[in-house]
Amino acid sequence: MTVALETKGLVKRFGGFTATDDVSFRLEQGARHALIGPNGAGKTTFINLLTGVLTPSGGQIFLEGADITRLRPEQRVRRGLARTFQINQLFPAMTPLETLALAVSERMGGGRDWWRVIGSKRGASDEVVEMAQRFRLTDVLDERTSHLPYGKQRLLEIAVAFACRPRVLLLDEPAAGVPEAERHELLAAVAALPRDVSVLLIEHDMDLVFSFADRISVLVNGAVFTEGSVDEVSTDPRVRAVYLGEKVDE
Amino acid sequence: MLTILFDGIAYGMLLFVLACGLAVTLGLMNFVNLAHGAFAMAGGYVMAVLMNRYGVPFLATLPLAFLVPAIVGLLLERTLYKHLYASSHLDQVLFSIGLVLMAVAATDYSMGSQQQLVRLPAWLQGRVELFGVQVGLYRSFIILVCGVLAVALQFALTKTRFGSRLRAAVDDPRIARGLGINVNAIFAVTFAVGSGIAGLGGALGSEILGLDPTFPLKFMIYFLIVVTVGGATSITGPFLASLILGIADVAGKYYVPSVGAFIIYTLMIAVLVLRPQGLFTLAR
Amino acid sequence: MQNVADHVATTLRRRGRWSAAEVIFWLVAAAPLFLLPERHLLLNEIAIVGLFALSLDLILGYAGIVSLGHAAFFGVGAYVAGLLAKNGIGDPVLGLAAAAFAATGLGFITSFLVLRGADLANLMVTLGVALVLGEIANRMAWLTGGADGLQGVSINPIFGIFEFDIFGTTAYAYSLIVTFILFVIARRIVVSPFGLSLRSIRDNSLRARAIGIPVNARLVAVYTLSAAYAGVAGALLAQTTQFVSLDVFAFHRSADVLLVLVIGGVGYLYGGLIGAVVFKILQDVLSAWTPQYWQFWIGLVLVILVLSGRERLADRGRALWASILGRSTAPVTQPTAVEES
């Protein structure tokens, strides 16, 4: 089985502070892998390193075997690596329809197309519809993104990343801040992601983690504390201790 | 050559006094006030009118050259400016450009478009020999006054309660309010003082800089350069930047007149691109 | 769900079609050629300012790059066209092409200066560039005529047939047609994927990068295009007035075009044109009333416009415009600090 995403000795330092401490991590093809850890463990920093928003102080990143450590964020997306943000990063003045159409067009290489009306490329329109249906956005397609309820925004956040047809998808706390009433839609959409996409999920919501993930990695103080199957990690007393802030003998 | 240096220093310190209000509003209130030059112009005209029409002695006009723009600034801040603190920089620029247009036109209408001629008092005319160099009395006076102002400002900012309240209000207005600091009052006072000092600078420097309705537009770019190169988070940054700018401008015009302002504009662009926080700021 | 698919397809495609209101706009613009002969000189100026404002809209309204120095490209275009004509190559279309070429080059080179910047830095950098060019033009008085302006600009008839007359009829027709052609191109660009990507960069460049958009490359492209348009506008001025002065680089020219665009509304292409009409008519009326002091009233208009929340006004205006056009597209607004992030 090829490794979808891998890091070797990844390090990130901010001045004297080490945010990511020699992380060697593997995301298997088709995996449903969760990354958990107490607040401040460096989970989002790790995602930012993977996507190229931050430059590592050391180490390497491989996407399906290819070294992407030096690539810019947009180049990594083109190679098949997409992400969602912990705090929604959407286009407030655009509608979901426009947002999805844009993501689809970009992927189809239409971004450099300045002569044709957006959506006129064969299949683009159909893909937008498919995205909208998969992520339950069909009823809000024409509303300004800034006016959408938070749950729908969160769905759009995932839909936009998915519209890039990634082979690896990084979800940064997708359920964060979503009101109880809207959670079900979100969780269902995440669960329905196709198996040919390898997913790394950062989450605090243990229900989501247990129902979604096959493997869990625990990140503490920027380093991988432990890693294993859901059963192994959920029953590991040291993991509980780490979350509760107790000292642990390594 | 020392005379050039001396003139450059005088010019630079004048620029500092003129621009420090802008640096303060920008760095502290994050407001781009392109109309800042209009307050300087107002101070200059106050002095000119008092001296030419009412025969008021030069020194006596200076307090009013400070007060009038300060009061106008206070009024404008409380009525108009405060609505735009949260607006985009573009909106602030558009607003202040509008104000400048109004100020320039109004001044032209009421005072005429010619240069205001001001006769310096006798005790400021002439030169004196200092350490073997011929120095103008007028420029010495400017350096003295501006220097005192700079020191006073630095003292006020770093050593007084008002100064620390100001710095707190700038760092985080919400928390400052929570601590009981009257942020609105501080901003208002700071704006007023900044405008007043600019007015004082306009009055002091009218002999060197000239005084006509186009003053705010002519010198706007110099103020922006001072703030760009010096940064807007301290007094010392703009001070150093003004000195450099003043000396460079005077020396440039004397030694390489064909190149002129060209170098200064290019310097500004370079600083903006390479070190947007200014050459002299410490990393915050 | 067939109706969703239809809806999506139609909504997207609708952006490309010209609505009745737009067609009427251009017919109304062309009508004075036959109806108002005594106003052709003024209309020519309106067309030129409109094109200039349109060029600014491309970067400000669509890509979110603020500029206080767009006159740099306008001036370069004007001088190139003027110098070409003065030195024997009087063909106007050739002059336009040369001006566009020169402005494009300058635009490309300076685009890298505005890539990184926050709004404030860009305002000052663009201002600085325009001032530098103005200084250069001033210093090179042997070439540009300096403060006296470029004399001896003589333009041949267009295509050898249409001579420039003193009533400005040829001038207006010329400017209008050039503006129209460039407008059509711009209109296609803004509804294309490229155009939408610009708006996304403006709204959230972090997210734009995260869906694979090469942000810097796009910004360079649109800035260069905008410079070309501005250069053509400058060339039109040089050719139709047969004169170029240092004024083309002046700060007030950059400030005025910004004002024109803001009056008409940013981000829907027609704003520059409508703003040009309003601005020029205002200027004409106010100058007759108080010759030197019309600037005061323009300043006042600007102050009131900003204080009354130009974004909200523009939003309402655009919503009105969109409903006239029969569209429900959400137009671009710059997110204010208060709104969303």
Region B271-283 average pLDDT: 68
List CB contacts (< 8 A) between C258 and chain B.
94, 97
Q: What share of chain B is helix, strand, coil (3-state, %, to 5)?
A: 75, 5, 20
**What is the C-alpha to C-alpha distance for residues B141 and B203, in angstroms, rounded to an integer?**
13
Q: Which residue in the set C5, C193, C330 is minimally distant from A113, CB to CB?
A: C193
Q: For chain C, say whether A97 makes contact (Cβ under 8 Å).
A: yes
Closest of B189, B152, B207, B154 to residue B14, by C-alpha: B207
Rounded-to-integer distance, Cα C144 and Cα B208, Å:
30
pLDDT of residue B284: 38
- pLDDT over 50 at A127, yes or no: yes
Find the mean pLDDT for residues C140-168. Answer: 83
Distance CA A25, CA A223 (A): 10
For chains C and A, tell me whether 3 or more CB atom pairs sit within 8 A of each other. yes
Do residues A120 and C12 touch, judged by C-beta distance below 8 A?
Answer: yes
Inter-chain touch B268–C251, beta carbons under 8 Å: no
Q: Express each pLDDT in C282-340 by its tens digit.
A: 888 888 877 677 788 888 988 998 988 766 666 666 666 666 655 544 443 333 333 33
Give residue-wise pLDDT tens across range A163-206. 999 999 999 999 888 888 888 888 888 888 898 999 999 988 88
Mutant choice from C109, C294, C306, C339 vs B, greatest count of B C-beta within 10 A: C306
Task: Say if residues C270 and C25 touch (Cβ distance below 8 Å).
Answer: yes
CA distance B217 to B12: 18
* Band (C229; pLDDT cuts 50, 70, 90): very high
Nearest C-alpha of chain A: how many angstroms from C2? Answer: 10
Q: Which residue of C has its CA nearest to B26?
A: C120
Question: Which CATH number does A3-244 carry?
Answer: 3.40.50.300
> pLDDT tens, C57-89?
999 999 999 999 999 999 999 999 999 998 888
pLDDT band for position B278 (cuts 50, 70, 90):
low
Tell whether A98 lies on the interface with C, counting CB pairs under 8 A: yes
Burial class (CB in 10 A: 0-12, 13-18, 19+), B259: middle
Distance from CA of C58 to the nearest CA of B (A): 16
Q: Chain C residues with CB inside 8 Å of A158's CB?
A: none
Mean pLDDT of chain C, nearest integer: 86
pLDDT for the residue B173 = 75
- Residue B248 confidence class, pLDDT cut points 50, 70, 90: confident
Tokens 């129209």 locate to C180
Cα separation, B77 vs B188, in Å, equals 6
Q: Which two tokens stand for residue C66?
A: 């603020």
Average pLDDT over residues B153-158: 84
ipTM for the predicted complex comes to: 0.89
Give the pLDDT of residue C279. 92
- On whether any CB of chain A is under 8 Å from the CB of C312, the answer is no
Shortest alpha-carbon distance between residue C303 and chain B (Å): 5
Phi–psi pair at B267, nearest 5 degrees: -60, -45
C270, β-bridge pairs: none
Q: How confident is the model at residue C196 (pLDDT cuts 50, 70, 90)?
A: very high
Q: Which of C285, C306, C309 is nearest to C297 (CA)?
A: C285
Q: How much is the mean pLDDT over chain B?
A: 85
Residues B108, C293: contact at Cβ < 8 Å? yes
Beta strands in chain C (DSSP E): none
Condensed to tens digits (0 to 9), the pLDDT of residues B18-65 reads 998 888 888 777 888 999 999 999 999 999 988 888 888 888 888 999
The one-letter code for the residue type at A84 is: T
Contacts of C118 in chain B (CB under 8 A): 89, 276
Pick from C131, C139, C338: which is nearest to B221 by CB? C131
* Residue C125 reports pLDDT greater than 80: yes
Closest CA to C45 of C227, C177, C181, C171: C171
Distance, in angstroms, between B120 CA and closest chain C CA? Answer: 31
C133 touching B, CB under 8 A?
A: no
A27 — pLDDT class (breaks 50, 70, 90): very high
- Distance between CA atoms of C211 and C138, rounded to whole angstroms? 46
Torsional sign, CA C294, C296, C300, C302:
positive
For B216-239, write each residue's pLDDT tens digit.
Answer: 988 888 888 888 888 877 788 888
Measure the CA–CA gap between C251 and C268, rounded to whole angstroms. 25
B-C CB pairs within 8 A amount to 129
Where are the domains positioned within chain B?
A: 2-213
Chain B neighbours, 3+ Cβ pairs < 8 A:
C
Asked if C116 lies within 8 A of B94 by C-beta distance, the reply is no
Q: What is the C-alpha to C-alpha distance for residues B186 and B191, in angstroms, rounded to an integer? A: 8
What is the secondary structure of B45-87 as a DSSP string? Answer: HHHHHHHHHH---HHHHHHHHHHHHHHHHHHHHHHTGGGGTTS
Please name the residue of chain A whose CA is at the shortest distance from the CA of residue C334: A93
Q: Show residues of chain C in contact with A77, CB under 8 Å.
A: 209-212
Helix C215-241 to helix C193-203 angle (10° resolution) is: 110
Query: Shortest CA distance to B227 belongs to which of B29, B42, B21, B13?
Result: B21
| CA-based nearest distance A83→chain C, Å | 7
Q: Which of B90, B105, B262 sits opposite C132 (nearest CB)?
A: B262
Following DSSP, what letter does each residue of A150-191 receive, concatenated? HHHHHHHHHHHHHTT--SEEEEESTTTT--HHHHHHHHHHHH
Query: Under CATH, what is the fold of the domain C13-325?
Result: ABC transporter involved in vitamin B12 uptake, BtuC (1.10.3470)
Closest residue by Cα to residue A96 from A139, A127, A130, A141: A141
CB A69 within 8 A of CB A61: yes
C268 within 8 A of C98, measured Cβ to Cβ = no
Strands ordered across the beta sheet of A223-229: A81-83, A168-172, A198-202, A32-36, A215-220, A223-229
C326 touches A at CB < 8 Å:
no
For residue B192, pLDDT beyond 80: yes
Residue reference for tokens 């336009």: C96
Q: Which of A37-46, B129-138, C223-232 has the lowest mean pLDDT?
A: B129-138
A226-242: average pLDDT: 85
β-strands A81-83, A3-14: how paired?
unpaired
Give tens-digit pLDDT for A67-83: 999 999 999 999 999 99
Burial code (b: 16+ CB inside 10 Å, e: under 16) for B131-143 equals eeeebbebbbbbb
A105 vs A120: CA distance, rounded Å: 10
Which residues from chain B sit within 8 angstroms of residue C136, using beta carbons?
262
pLDDT in tens, A75-118: 999 999 999 999 999 999 999 999 999 999 998 876 677 777 77
Question: Choosing among A102, A131, A141, A142, which should be mutated to test the C contact, i.e. which has the most C CBs within 10 A?
Answer: A102
C-proximal residues of B, 253-272, CB under 8 Å: 258-262, 265-266, 268-269, 272
Q: Which H helix or E strand runs over B134?
A: strand B133-136
Higher pLDDT, B276 or C40: C40
Whether residue C135 and residue B261 make contact (CB cut-off 8 A), yes or no, is yes
**Do chains B and C touch by CB distance (3+ pairs < 8 Å)?**
yes
CA distance C256 to chain B (A): 10
**In degrees rounded to 5, what are phi and psi of residue C266?**
-95, 140
Compute the C-alpha angle A51/A97/A139, nearest 5°. 115
| Per-residue model confidence (pLDDT) at position B198 | 92
Measured between alpha carbons, how far is A209 from A206 in angstroms, rounded to an integer? 5
Q: pTM value? A: 0.89
Res A166: pLDDT: 93
What pLDDT score does C339 carry? 32
